[in-house]
Structure 1
Amino acid sequence: MPEDGAQRGVRDSLLDGWGDLTQRQEAVDVRPGDPIFLAPDYRVDELLSLYVQSARFRRHTPETKRNYATDISLFLNFLWGRGYVWTQAMERDLEDFEHWRRFAPSNPRIIGGSKWNRELAALTGLYAWAVKSGHMPHSPVMMKDVFSRSRGTVLTVPATKAKDARGSNVHWLTPRAFRRWAEVGLRGHTREGLPAAGWCGRLEDRNVAFADLLYSSGMRRGEGGSLLTFEVPQRRLGGGRYYVGRIAAAVTRSKKPRTFYVGSDVVGEIETYVDSSRALTVRKAQQAGRYDNLPAMQIVTHVTGGVKPTVHWQDRHGNPVERRLADLTVGQRLTLYSEGRYGPEPLWLWLNERGLPFHVDSWEGVFRTANERCKLVLTPPECFQRDPHRVYAPYATPHSCRHSFALYMLVVLNHLMDQRFGLTPEERRDFRLLYGDPWHMVQNLLGHASRETTCEIYLAPVADLQLRALLAAAPDAGQPMQTSLDSVFARLAQESEGIQDVDDRMLPVRGATE
């Protein structure tokens, strides 16, 4: 059972007679989140259980573990249909599997090159471990050497790696397109820009605050979704347009801490959520006794500041425990509570309607529902299912908020250097030597180790544009920054592929009434 199974609502009756389940798991080194493979005859594959306990597999993120387990299962079922197990697989089996997955006319769900490469990576890791551990003489995954231009070295890759793989599914929203998406998809506004009659958004303030946080800060879904309440910067009088926070190393992809900047208005939205609907949800959960019997609850006693902030708590046996804030994993953060006025309160910032932590993966459903509402509200009825390339409604994902943040910051930083600061070419060169150019600044804000990732993937549409020429006409200094740059983003959207902007059909009709 997952470590937070009780918090997700797993019934105690399902575990009758298994009171020592935790001890059994520890005895065989089964950890929370480890996948268990069952054959079609309901037998557990012991070798696969050893593989998921290996250091090679456990280094993956929880999301990668889930994806790889699913990918491996598909190949195992394919082999089972041929009458043998995965340790008997040959090169021809993998070739036939690729044909079925990617090209077979009889397959109703053919996959693309990117998905195949992920499945191939999962199988490559499995069979490399099996050969190294002595369970197989050789791997059915053939390898070849290729020269990497970006790294300047020779790499060994699977021979059947797809060449038509798309690097990433990247798309962007301009500031006004994102505002329109949030108003319609999350706040329930109509096409005319007014609140819909009978709209009752479920935790609307929470959803809007989270989406604005990602768009304003560039954080990944797992980084913003696993914040603790005391990690959010606090607004103060004269605090400026942006506030500074710190992302813990354990929740980042690179496992390195990173500074983030978030807009003052977004911090205000989060504070409003914490003081209103979140506080009410916590109080109802306390009254319902939902926090009374959580087996994994850790009561935090205090948090020490300084260069290396440390969280102190008591375990279920009353023993004191301390961990550096930067080292707290997502799983550990889910279990942290504080003693409030009326009882325990979760320190996990984002909560569901039952007052329990809202899991990081669940945000995908929130964005998916918002996209469906935007499509329903903003697409003219006569245009449904006509031209698949004509889109009338903005579309967003948690990661597209990060892409859009990168685009916004690049344009703003160029605007500041070219217009607001009035730098001469010589002064701009000196500024770059001291602080780096806008591309370098955006790279640091995103936490990318490679500039190529920032330039070639996140900001590919504008990599070859001369922003100085685009920003030649300075906007009115009296306008807000995002509003004054709307014309710049509109032009970028017209001249670049993948950037979503709004047109007259997506904007509210002025003076319209219900």
Structure 2
Amino acid sequence: MNAWQVRATMEEFDFPADGVLFDTRLLTEGRAEWLREVGLEPGAPFLISPQFEYDVVLNRFFEAPGMRMRAVSTQFGYARDLAAFLTFLWVARRQRSWRDAVEEDHLAYLTWRRRDGDGPRVAGSTWNREVAGVDAFYRWAVRAGHVATSPIPQVARRARVGSHLARRTADEQRPATYARDAGGERVEWLPPVEYRVWRDVGVRGFGAAGLPRPGFRGRWAARNATFCDLMVRTGLRLSEQCALTVFEVPRSAPGAGGYARFWLPAAVAKGSSARWTYMPGAVMADVEDYRRWDRAEVVADAQAVGRYARWRRPWVVEDPGRPVARRVGSPLKVAVEHLALRERRLLLVEGPGGLEPAMLWLGEGGQPLSVSAWKAMFATANRRCRAAGVRLAAHAHLLRHTFAVVTLEQLQRGHLAALAEQDPRQREHYTRVFGDPLDWVRRRLGHRSVVTTMIYLHVLAELEMQTRMALVPDGWDLPGDVVDETVDAA
């Protein structure tokens, strides 16, 4: 192995997650004690060197307070970017240690990543993300006294107009090698008509003409299509939607219209951005069908062979009407809303046929589906589209962008139409009560600042009004799909 590897500390599963073992104590019942001994939190990332060595000092970075407070997906993003730089030091810089890295190493990495004809030629935005991750590591290492200086050159931050919008800190330095072609205003999204084509061909297995293909045997086509519909209609991140349990998602009666809302708890929301999420009635009905048929079937099959009885030290909700979980073998009780994704994957609830997973989205064997499994589903859907001659592709974050662009355009239309019919006093009252469409979308996306959400305004500004009217219809659903458009605020 010539690369640094990212692993995950998973106390309840094969450890590490990819099966690369570096200490015999990880095979014993004392693995939890070993985790505490070295200061690792179950589920956190760590790095292994090309020589299968665990660098205790380096991996303390992932246990630093600033890193622990970040979302798990963000932690792994930092780990992957740091591993890529360390691999470059090992392969291209004569097995240089991270402690000995100098500015010339970083500049050589820049040349290879962005300009070398045999290199990956990454985009400016990708490079900036990578630099930010490595810079954060070396800032920590300098503060902790592990290295004297950082290999990443710094420059003074430029003064910003309207700086009251940005958080002021004592650190006025930034990496000097940040790219200027990051293209921060470029957003990929699909108009509703194109989204449906991608979903039907790629996920449901329809032909390019929009009709079911007789030979398609997609066992989970309906579940996967419902998952995508929920994402594109709510703006949830992939990690957030994967973490949903049966306690969060409301149940619906067949044919229910309008909207229902559910609370996304801070424990699974990126950046702890807990918020209300609004689910259209048509999507809610599809989720209910999945729960009643496909999900119930795999749960029953798993219960019949005792699959859930073999889970090691699960969390259990004994009273479905009271979502409080207890860890088997421990008197500790925790409300489900405070459980993180890794704990929810081990959460069982008493159902009609016995204990079953509380996670909403389950796979063929009745086990909770992982983030990587859903990423693979998107990749498969894109391959089906290419095979069918449909030049469309999507990933989870693109569906989130689609929600933002379409919702913002529709809200602005309704907002302007309502204001046009009112006098100045009524307009002022309306704005106070219903707020700004941009801020409403910000809240649904979980953005801390409206400045982040403004990127979607730039997308709409680049489209001519006639084009906007054609690409974004007044409603998502086809005629007759939704009974009414009222929002249930209860």
Structures share fold, TM-score greater than 0.5: yes
Q: In 1, distance between residues paired with 2:443 and 2:224?
A: 27
- What RMSD over aligned residues (CA atoms) do the two structures have, in Å? 3.1
What amino acid does structure 2 have at the position aligned with 1:289? G
What amino acid does structure 2 have at the position aligned with 1:2? M
Q: Indicate the residue corresponding to 1:509 in structure 2.
A: none
Q: Indicate the residue corresponding to 1:450 in structure 2.
A: 449
Relative to structure 1, is the Cα distance of residues 447 and 64 closer, same or farther in structure 2, using a 3 angstrom cutoff? closer
Q: Indicate the residue corresponding to 1:161 in structure 2.
A: 178
Moved more, 433-442 or 247-256: 433-442
Q: Indicate the residue corresponding to 2:342 in structure 1.
A: 331
On the 8 A contact 2:153/2:175 being kept in 1, the answer is yes
Q: Indicate the residue corresponding to 1:2 in structure 2.
A: 10
What amino acid does structure 1 have at the position aligned with 2:202? G
On the 8 A contact 2:71/2:271 being kept in 1, the answer is no
What amino acid does structure 2 have at the position aligned with 1:400? L
What amino acid does structure 2 have at the position aligned with 1:445? R
- Consecutive unaligned residues in structure 2, runs of 5 or more: 1-8, 480-490
Secondary structure at the residue paired with 2:198?
A: helix
Alignment of 1:457-496 (within 5 A): 457-463=455-461, 482-483=477-478
Q: Indicate the residue corresponding to 1:35 in structure 2.
A: 45
- Consecutive unaligned residues in structure 1, runs of 5 or more: 306-310, 380-391, 485-514
Shift of 1:183: 1.2
Matched, 1:85 2:97: yes
Matched, 1:74 2:94: no
What amino acid does structure 2 have at the position aligned with 1:22? A
Q: In 1, distance between residues paired with 2:18 and 2:412?
A: 52
2:394 to 393, 396, 410: 396
Alignment of 1:111-510 (within 5 A): 111-146=122-157, 147-149=159-161, 151-152=163-164, 155-167=172-184, 170-236=187-253, 240-302=257-319, 311-317=323-329, 319-323=331-335, 325-377=336-388, 379=389, 392-419=390-417, 423-424=421-422, 426=424, 427-455=426-454, 457-463=455-461, 482-483=477-478
Cα deviation code 1:71-126 (max 9, x no counterpart): 2222223323424311111112211221122112233x222222221221122122
Q: In 2, distance between residues paired with 1:150 and 1:401?
A: 31
Give TM-score, length-normalised by structure 2: 0.84
Q: In 2, distance between residues paired with 1:16 and 1:86?
A: 26
On the 8 A contact 1:215/1:401 being kept in 2, the answer is yes
On the 8 A contact 1:411/1:467 being kept in 2, the answer is no
On the 8 A contact 2:235/2:445 being kept in 1, the answer is yes
Relative to structure 1, is the Cα distance of residues 233 and 98 closer, same or farther in structure 2, using a 3 angstrom cutoff? same
Shift of 1:409: 1.9
Matched, 1:106 2:118: yes
Give TM-score, length-normalised by structure 1: 0.80
Relative to structure 1, is the Cα distance of residues 302 and 246 closer, same or farther in structure 2, using a 3 angstrom cutoff? same
On the 8 A contact 1:214/1:220 being kept in 2, the answer is yes
Q: Indicate the residue corresponding to 2:4 in structure 1.
A: none
What amino acid does structure 2 have at the position aligned with 1:105? G
Q: Indicate the residue corresponding to 1:488 in structure 2.
A: none
Shift of 1:422: 6.5
Q: RCO greater where, 1 or 2, for CA within 8 Å and sep 6 or more?
A: 1
Q: In 2, distance between residues paired with 1:113 and 1:129?
A: 24
On the 8 A contact 1:417/1:428 being kept in 2, the answer is no
Shift of 1:6: 5.8
Q: Indicate the residue corresponding to 2:34 in structure 1.
A: 24
On the 8 A contact 2:273/2:447 being kept in 1, the answer is no
On the 8 A contact 1:226/1:348 being kept in 2, the answer is yes
